[in-house]
Structure 1
Amino acid sequence: MDRDSGPRVPEQRARATPNTTTNTAMDSTTGDIASGTRKSAPGPVSVADSAPEETTPTPGTELRFGVLGPVRAWRGGEPLPSGSPQQRALLAALLLREGRTATAGELIDAIWGESAPSQALAAVRTYASRLRKVLSPGVLVSESGGYALHTGPDALDLSVAQELSAAAEKERTAGNRQQARVLINKALGLWDGEPLASVPGPYAETERARLDEWRLQLVETRLDIDLELGRHAEAVSELTALTAAHPLRERLRELLMLALYRSGRQAEALAVYADTRRLLADELGVDPRPELARLQHRILQADAELARPVEETAPVVTFTRPAQLPATVPDFTGRELFVRELGRRLASAEGSVMAVSALAGIGGVGKTTLAVHVAHAARPRFPDGQLYVDLQGAGARFAEPEAVLGSFLRALGTPDSAIPDSLDERSALYRSALDGRRVLVLLDNARDAAQVRPLLPGTEGCAALVTSRVRMVDLEGAHLVDLDVMSPEEALQLFTRIVGEERVSSEREAALDVVAAVLDLPPHETEDLLESLVDTSLVESAAPGRYRYHDLVRLYARACADRDEQPPTGIDLALFRLLDFYLATAARVYTIERPGDRLKDHLEPTEYEGLVFTDRHEAQDWLYAEADCLLACARQAAGGARLRVAVDLLWAAQDLAESGANSKSYETAARSALAAAREAGDARTEGRARTSMTNVHLVAGRYEEADEEARQAAALAESVQDPAPVYWSDNDRGIIALGQGRFKDAEAHLLKAMEGSRADGNRPGEASALCNLSRIQHSLGRTSRAIALAEQGVQVYDSIGHTLRLSNARFALGIALTHAGRHKEALEQLAQALEGFETNRQRLWEGTTHFRIAQAHLAARRAASAAQHAEQALAIGCIGGDRTRANVLITLGKALENLGQADRARVCWREALALHEESGAAEAEEVRELLDAPLSAA
């Protein structure tokens, strides 16, 4: 923080006067105020006005004061009466002098200024007397014809904020920006509304302005740090609101331009400059300051340096430094030439371009073991961390670079909301996050160079180790290493280290012919078996209760099963057991999340009961932790005899389709299941698979494809008298028709869905139809009916304890209330919906709710809040894909236009128009009208 940029902040409070003879000890915990529950200040000195007198502080007498909001005082946790506004003005004046004496005349000027009454001096004495009775003895003292407050260290919230700010500045100067950010946020957390709220007098007015300015400077400093840390997507939302509240503050505009540019929104960044220039000319008759003009020029030139966070001048704090390398093998043997060669290559990364080494060799030759060993040896050269991923290139389903980049960015401290959607944007942000750092990246088991390229750091000081079964001759600049099998001598040496010299000496020939067997044991012995496999390094324990194979062990075990099982009944039975387990457990999760829903009664019966959960959160933890394995199992089983179980598993795990994080993997599994069901000619299963695909298309905003899937799903289900997919499909088709503006069709489908749900005894299904019917009614202008239907849906969900879909009902009610002009009630409902979606990890629904909150604020003419929530929706993503994104941009543009940012508004509308024209949405005409309207500077 620039010391010269802010108002004068006293560096040290005056200590007690010589009359003070006793100071109490400071409680070292009093500075911990981040949670908002401020701890008690230490006991004050105890001094009489007339003569020094030692006293012993008694428990519960700690005083603390607040001026960063209403002027208040507490003893311990109990609030103390602060008296009339003028008495509070006296208290504030003394507190802000931080122990220095104020004369009676100074206090009179502070409270009344030139309007002081004739009895002002007597009034000051009265206020002081009353305060002395409230406070502890010796706190308010009379001296030198005036008064002073002697308080304990850190008894005043302002003093704590100043100390936190100073500590943040030191951390930032030392390069610890993350810690500086934490400290500034703690300081900002001490504000409780307007400082010196409702305190009269010219002194309070001046100090209020000073404290407001200082707070804004702290916010600017923290936002500056956010951009240095790569948190630009988060910053856009806050900066949009701040520039609306402080339109002439050019530093905020500068930060907003930079945040937008780093978020890939160059046109909007330039539009901010145009809006600012017009505003300054109209309001002040001046041009933007040179810093703003230079930034505009750099954006026009696409200056590469602008896209990068500031280089750290010291190592990143530990909690942002990844350490992901797997454990090295204690029995590592041989490969000495390769170890030296790779070690030298990694050492060359320091002060030079990025070093890349690619190890190639057949499966089981020891590529991963060698790479991990070398990486551990090189760790001191990469103090900013080590990243690791198994790219699963040898399997049928390799890791997607987008998903890997998402996990890498999180490991480097990037919040979810700041992680962009596209591969190119994630890769660019990843390189920016690594710029100036020295990080080693181990990319294990790569499929090909195309999978690897987006994951390379790309900056000097970093290095990458890649292992693969193919030689990556097309990986530019890579140092290629071909790894062969161990020599018999090296292999024997390794085995000797594992089992012992004595045994090998007596059984040398047997030792050379050792591989392993996998036994099928009863379920109750499974844990013992797994732990014994961990002990022999055939299985890894990734976390308590979770296990995984090394891919070589998996491939070898599969080869043994294919060879030994004739027919392969053992393989099939193992897959059947796993499918049964997943379906039974996923059904339990679904039932816990959706009490009263009949879906479980329509699923394929299972032989296993599945896991039992103690609460909803534990169930969700399992579902999301197991998502990759669950979806892979469903995809693998889709072509087998248990196809029905695989399809029902996808139906029961449908939350994964709407989560955002697993949506793509879910879609892949659902497509595989549908193809298998069609090939099998199983109408019942195909209908259910199409129900899952309908949901996939709806989440992505592909309405035409969704409608066709739902139509076929219903027809197939009706042909085999499978009732659940019929009313599910009717509900989906109602949502689709609503989105397309076909209200009559939508109503017909939803009424059928409600009838089907009632006939099946599925109350949540009935409530869902009610909520969707509500949205049709308000689209037709029948707001009273819309509110009534949504309220019925809320009541049904609430009565059965259905927390997840209760959020959807509140979402629908919030929309209806918005259309009715009942904005306060609408925002209350939408806020509760948002909380529910956050709790249930429905990330895309969170974003969609932010969009609806933005609409409610816009309707209530709170443009700044509308713009802020619209930005959050864009950062998170929404149900409905690009269609909804376009509508968010329309809302954002309207809010920006109301804030006088017409150029930026038009940029948003042009992007919205492109998205709607691409999808053929009817909303495109609305956007054209907005763009055809004359430029507004409202």
Structure 2
Amino acid sequence: MDVQILGPLEVVVDGTPVPLGGRRNQMILAVLAAEANRVVLVDRLVDAVWDEQPPPTARSQIQICVSALRRSLSRAGAPDVIATRPPGYLLRVETGHLDADVFDDLVTYARVLVDNSRDADAAVELRRALGLWRGPALGALPSRVLEATAGRLEERRLAATEELVRIELALGRHDDLIDELTALVAEHPLRERLHGHLMLALYRAGRQAEALGAYRRARALLVEELGIEPGGELRRLEKAILMGSHELDLPARAPVLAAPARVAAHPVVPGLLPAAIADFTGRRDETRGLVARLSEVTTMAAPVVVVTGAAGTGKTATGVHVAHRVRGAFPDGQLYASLAGSGPIPTAPSEILVRFLRALGMSGTAIPDSVEERAELYRSHLADRRVLVVLDDVGDESEVPPLLPGSVSCRVLVTSRSRLPGLPGAERVELGALDTGSAVELLGRIAGPHRVRQEAGPAATIAELCGGLALALRIAGARLAARPHWRLARLAERLADETRRLDELEHGELGIRASLAFSFDAIREADRRMLLRAVLADVPEITAWMGAALADTDHAEAEKSLERLVDAQLLDGIADDGGPSRYRVPELVRVFARHRSSRSDSPAEVAAARRRFLGVLLHLTDEAHRREYGGDFTILHGPAPRRRPPQELVDRLLARPVDWLDTERMTLVAAVRQSAALGWSTYCWDLALGALTLFESRAHFDLWHETAGLALVCATTAGDVRGEAAMHYSAGTLLLFQRRMDAAAERLDAARAGFERCGDRHGLALVLRNLAHVDRLADRPDRALRRYTQALAGLRGVGDLVGQAHVLQNLAGLALESGDADRARALLDEALGHCRTAGARRVEAQVLHRIGDLALHEDDSPHAVEAYAAVLRSVRHVGDRIGEMYALLGLGRAACRLDQHDTASRRLSEALHLAREVGERFVEGRALHALADLDLARGRTDLAVGRLTEAAEIFEAISARRWRARVLAALATARQREAAVAVAVPVQPSDTHTSWSRWSESRSAERRS
């Protein structure tokens, strides 16, 4: 478990952030984290949450919040990390897993390095320490206690920042510090030390007038804000700047890199680096890491660092920028050569050796002919010297060994599109796309920052359409700079047209198309085909089974091809989560590949590839449903052709069917979108309906709404009556889940008419089942009974066992409400038998839940707990969030009956939280109702009134009339009690349980639900 307080509070377990709940929970955990591994008094937690006005129940509310935090952490895989240690609590955090402690350790280590005259290494450690900060400490949580804690952390951050700047000024990095110091002074205008550092940096950069201007601004601010003159140190610095004092010159210092003593003078010091890049932007973390690696002292072979990335990511710019940053550590020179590995004619290592030897002072006639002799002579010249060698645009790792120095005092920086996996001992830094902020900043530096500020929205759009690629952004910026009359919105509009985008990203000799073409033309024919096919699916991520379908090849070959495309930097590999490997096509590569596909593939070939992909996706979606429900139950299939992958692959992918569907949910959505755009109605509605297996259980209501809407329009346009009816059924079912009863009934009626028109008995039975649900929730039991009976007959006619079980358990619910427990039991026995015959665990859990309701009706609370607990285990196993909230609600109600009030409160609160999270208003209302009963049992009448009022509003909003009537009756009783308390009517402690018993007995209708 990692705890982060240097920014917004966050707890991460196994790479996944843990949801912490509301603001009170976060405040409590923040205080515990700031005092990690130490006991924090409950009173301090109370002060943190309520400052000086805590309610009487503050300590018990703290206990509730701590319990909620423990549950969240335990679910995430971090149990028992919050310990009770009277008179408070303690948060256990292992060494190295609290970012504030790591920060302090790095700062302390930096001080040790300074004491040992290792300033450059100290600067690296301080940069690492400050890199841990993600924003204001503790995310500025509104608490007086936490403000003080955050203030102390921020002071340590500023002290480390000031020390880092002092060190880097001593290392001669004043040019690089000016922008950073300007921002720091603006953010912390009363820190005199920062003003002094800015003045010194400006002075050493040859900007004496600006340095004095910085002093005048600092003085004016201090006089205006505090009524004081600057301190003596700042005044002395101003005087020294005015006099041009030599005391401000860079101090003499030892070289950054230790090296063996030189045995002879070398008069020729090569300086082959290209000019520094004035507008270099972003890559702060990568740059710091590269500088650190190139500055490390080693006794092993000359360190080699490889900067790798796709075409256009800015590898050369980053390499040159870093080389200039560290050039002071290499007083014997810097060698640079481009091997043109991404071009049609790479430069041979033998030719590079000639250039390097000449730069080292050798005449052309003295240079031997063979590569081996040149390499030996080159290594001899670099022996005992501190030289930086930059090898740009390396195409193949075999080109590098002849150009490696033999001296440990040298360093080698390589840039390449390839990761050069065979290069021994190399460390790699991968460059991806620039984030939006850095991309917009780069665009502004080239096109003009004022233009970007004036059109921030179009600037962000351009950055997105350029895929965050540095080369594309440079081209876009250059085009804007050459056309000062253009608005950024104009270029954004031109780039939005995919058919013209690569043409728009051409300027002079710069062009994205040519850069990508070099990479594309260099790969195998099979891999080119795979890339052109991969972009046809239009999905967010590609897997090998998709690639195999699209390229019409087998799974193993598809996986190899996709991995080779990653090596060629034409695909991005996504971090392995334990499942099948996944890949993403970068934005501009996708545009390039679509252009190539349109030129090389016929419309028939493109359509065939897409149909193969959709056919495999349909088969896998069907099979996932079968494995979850035990067969083709409660689902309709269209006529779109399926394509069956190898059974071994299907078994591997669908080991956990709903988890696979969840992993591929955006693939399903993208496939529905694409089918709708192509007008392929049968694929579109078939996929949209198949996705319901996921959308129902994981409560992906937004995606459900989108796909049903797209497929409905597609089917209607195509005149596909059955598809139109299926999508009305899907949309109506979603509205039923959302408790929008009138709208649900309207959609379901449309579905019924459509299925009757096309003679679909199965579809009609499923619609009748859901219309019966609407009637039941709207308190129309006779009509619900009639429709359930019709639905049951239809489902029996088509052999849908699981659909029958659905209806039977709902009929059992009606029987319970009418007081016929024997009939309910018979119906549930039949439903349970159908579920077990089909192997439908999810629906079996629904039947078991109703069995728990039956047990509660018969006052057999232990049996109810057993049933609900079995439901909870089952639904959590498959990730069924809807089922989980119902199971928690049942367990809470059963615990109430057993007078286990703490357990009841915990379970009901969990159900309430989950219902609110997924938007299940019916369960939210029922949980509030049950919690209000619990409040009344505990004498908390005011809390009960509040909960019941909220529950009544919910039931009114979703047209649950019967439940609203129950809540209003309970609310009237609660208000009577509240009024009695207000006039000081005494209530004996022993009366509380008695009144709770009377209250519970008076609610027999609720027990029959």
Please name the residue that 1:740 is paired with.
778
Q: Alignment partner of 1:630: what SS?
A: helix
Which residues of 2 match residues 181-330 of structure 1 at below 5 A?
Answer: 224-225=28-29, 251-254=59-62, 256=64, 304-305=142-143
Contact map agreement 2:679 2:714 (CA 8 A) in 1: no
CA distance change for structure 1 residues 674 and 869 in 2, over 3 Å: closer, same or farther?
A: same
CA distance change for structure 1 residues 620 and 303 in 2, over 3 Å: closer, same or farther?
A: closer
Contact map agreement 1:883 1:915 (CA 8 A) in 2: yes
Contact map agreement 2:141 2:147 (CA 8 A) in 1: no
Q: Alignment partner of 2:573: what SS?
A: strand
Please name the residue that 1:192 is paired with.
none
Contact map agreement 1:886 1:915 (CA 8 A) in 2: yes
Q: Alignment partner of 1:579: what SS?
A: helix
Please name the residue that 2:624 is paired with.
589
Q: Structure 1 regions of 5+ residues with no counterpart? A: 1-33, 35-167, 183-219, 231-238, 240-246, 262-301, 317-337, 354-368, 382-440, 449-463, 473-479, 505-513
Superposition deviation, residue 529 in structure 1: 3.1
Match of 1:538 among 550, 553, 570: 570
Please name the residue that 2:810 is paired with.
772
Superposition deviation, residue 447 in structure 1: 14
Which residues of 2 match residues 315-354 of structure 1 at below 5 A?
Answer: none
Superposition deviation, residue 618 in structure 1: 3.4
Q: Alignment partner of 2:572: what SS?
A: strand
Q: Distance in 2 between matches of 1:309 and 1:786?
A: 59
Q: Distance in 1 between matches of 2:928 and 2:834?
A: 34
Q: Alignment partner of 1:537: what SS?
A: coil
CA distance change for structure 1 residues 306 and 884 in 2, over 3 Å: closer, same or farther?
A: farther
Q: Distance in 1 between matches of 2:177 and 2:463?
A: 20
Superposition deviation, residue 581 in structure 1: 1.5
Q: Alignment partner of 1:469: what SS?
A: helix
Please name the residue that 2:850 is paired with.
812
Which residues of 2 match residues 57-96 of structure 1 at below 5 A?
Answer: none
Please name the residue that 1:892 is paired with.
931
CA distance change for structure 1 residues 313 and 625 in 2, over 3 Å: closer, same or farther?
A: farther
Superposition deviation, residue 866 in structure 1: 2.4
Please name the residue that 2:944 is paired with.
905
Contact map agreement 1:178 1:229 (CA 8 A) in 2: no
Q: Distance in 2 between matches of 1:884 and 1:577?
A: 42
- What amino acid is aligned across from residue 613 of structure 1 in structure 2? D
Match of 1:619 among 633, 644, 657: 657
Match of 2:964 among 912, 917, 924: 924
> Under a length normalisation based on structure 2, what TM-score does the superposition of the two structures give?
0.47
CA distance change for structure 1 residues 539 and 303 in 2, over 3 Å: closer, same or farther?
A: closer
Q: Alignment partner of 1:741: what SS?
A: coil
Q: Distance in 2 between matches of 1:737 and 1:822?
A: 29
Q: Percent identity?
A: 21
Superposition deviation, residue 549 in structure 1: 0.8
Superposition deviation, residue 891 in structure 1: 1.3
Q: Distance in 2 between matches of 1:176 and 1:676?
A: 45
Superposition deviation, residue 597 in structure 1: 3.6
Contact map agreement 2:868 2:891 (CA 8 A) in 1: yes
Q: Distance in 2 between matches of 1:181 and 1:624?
A: 21
Matched, 1:692 2:738: no
Deviations along 1:397-453, one digit per CA (max 9) or x if unpaired, are: xxxxxxxxxxxxxxxxxxxxxxxxxxxxxxxxxxxxxxxxxxxx98659999xxxxx
Q: Distance in 2 between matches of 1:605 and 1:493?
A: 38
- What amino acid is aligned across from residue 532 of structure 2 in structure 1? V
Q: Distance in 1 between matches of 2:26 and 2:519?
A: 57
Superposition deviation, residue 930 in structure 1: 2.9
Match of 1:553 among 558, 570, 589: 589
- What amino acid is aligned across from residue 607 of structure 2 in structure 1? D
> Under a length normalisation based on structure 1, what TM-score does the superposition of the two structures give?
0.50
Please name the residue that 1:786 is paired with.
824
Q: Distance in 1 between matches of 2:865 and 2:877?
A: 18
Please name the residue that 1:523 is paired with.
553
Which residues of 2 match residues 354-503 of structure 1 at below 5 A?
Answer: 373-374=283-284, 376-377=286-287, 444=436, 468-470=460-462, 483-484=477-478
- Which of structures 1 and 2 has the bigger CA Rg? 2
Contact map agreement 1:181 1:222 (CA 8 A) in 2: no
Superposition deviation, residue 721 in structure 1: 1.7
Q: Which moved more, 1:615-624 or 1:252-261?
A: 252-261
Please name the residue that 2:360 is paired with.
none
Q: Alignment partner of 2:583: what SS?
A: strand
Deviations along 1:350-371, one digit per CA (max 9) or x if unpaired, are: 9799xxxxxxxxxxxxxxx998
Q: Alignment partner of 1:877: what SS?
A: helix
Which residues of 2 match residues 126-145 of structure 1 at below 5 A?
Answer: none
Contact map agreement 1:896 1:905 (CA 8 A) in 2: yes
Superposition deviation, residue 174 in structure 1: 13
Q: Distance in 2 between matches of 1:615 and 1:592?
A: 12
Superposition deviation, residue 259 in structure 1: 10
Q: Distance in 2 between matches of 1:180 and 1:604?
A: 46
Please name the residue that 1:70 is paired with.
none
CA distance change for structure 1 residues 181 and 633 in 2, over 3 Å: closer, same or farther?
A: closer
Superposition deviation, residue 650 in structure 1: 2.1
Contact map agreement 1:593 1:616 (CA 8 A) in 2: no
Superposition deviation, residue 678 in structure 1: 1.9
Contact map agreement 2:516 2:589 (CA 8 A) in 1: no
Superposition deviation, residue 864 in structure 1: 3.1
Q: Distance in 2 between matches of 1:753 and 1:824?
A: 34
Matched, 1:839 2:877: yes
Superposition deviation, residue 804 in structure 1: 1.5
Q: Distance in 2 between matches of 1:729 and 1:602?
A: 15
Match of 2:767 among 726, 729, 742: 729
Q: Distance in 1 between matches of 2:656 and 2:280?
A: 38
Q: Distance in 2 between matches of 1:750 and 1:664?
A: 29
- What amino acid is aligned across from residue 251 of structure 1 in structure 2? R
Q: Distance in 2 between matches of 1:376 and 1:720?
A: 62
Q: Alignment partner of 1:608: what SS?
A: coil
Q: Alignment partner of 1:927: what SS?
A: helix
Q: Distance in 1 between matches of 2:882 and 2:929?
A: 19
More helix by share: 2
Q: Distance in 2 between matches of 1:887 and 1:307?
A: 37
Contact map agreement 2:886 2:911 (CA 8 A) in 1: yes
What is the RMSD computed on CA atoms of the aligned residues?
A: 5.4
Contact map agreement 1:591 1:600 (CA 8 A) in 2: no
Q: Distance in 1 between matches of 2:685 and 2:900?
A: 47
Q: Distance in 2 between matches of 1:574 and 1:349?
A: 57
Contact map agreement 2:636 2:689 (CA 8 A) in 1: no
CA distance change for structure 1 residues 532 and 442 in 2, over 3 Å: closer, same or farther?
A: closer
Q: Distance in 1 between matches of 2:178 and 2:611?
A: 47
Superposition deviation, residue 897 in structure 1: 1.5
Deviations along 1:185-224, one digit per CA (max 9) or x if unpaired, are: xxxxxxxxxxxxxxxxxxxxxxxxxxxxxxxxxxx99994
Please name the residue that 1:800 is paired with.
838
Contact map agreement 2:654 2:660 (CA 8 A) in 1: no
Contact map agreement 1:790 1:809 (CA 8 A) in 2: yes
Contact map agreement 1:670 1:692 (CA 8 A) in 2: yes
- What amino acid is aligned across from residue 539 of structure 1 in structure 2? L
Superposition deviation, residue 625 in structure 1: 0.9
Contact map agreement 1:823 1:856 (CA 8 A) in 2: yes
Match of 2:610 among 567, 570, 575: 575
Deviations along 1:522-572, one digit per CA (max 9) or x if unpaired, are: 322433432332222221222443222112222333345556667x43443
User: May I ask how many residue pairs the two structures share in their alignment?
Assistant: 552
CA distance change for structure 1 residues 929 and 909 in 2, over 3 Å: closer, same or farther?
A: same
Deviations along 1:97-137, one digit per CA (max 9) or x if unpaired, are: xxxxxxxxxxxxxxxxxxxxxxxxxxxxxxxxxxxxxxxxx
Q: Alignment partner of 1:547: what SS?
A: strand
Deviations along 1:882-917, one digit per CA (max 9) or x if unpaired, are: 233122211111111211221112221222233233
Q: Structure 2 regions of 5+ residues with no counterpart? A: 15-23, 35-44, 46-54, 70-139, 155-174, 191-278, 292-432, 441-455, 465-472, 479-504, 523-527, 534-549, 982-991, 993-1009
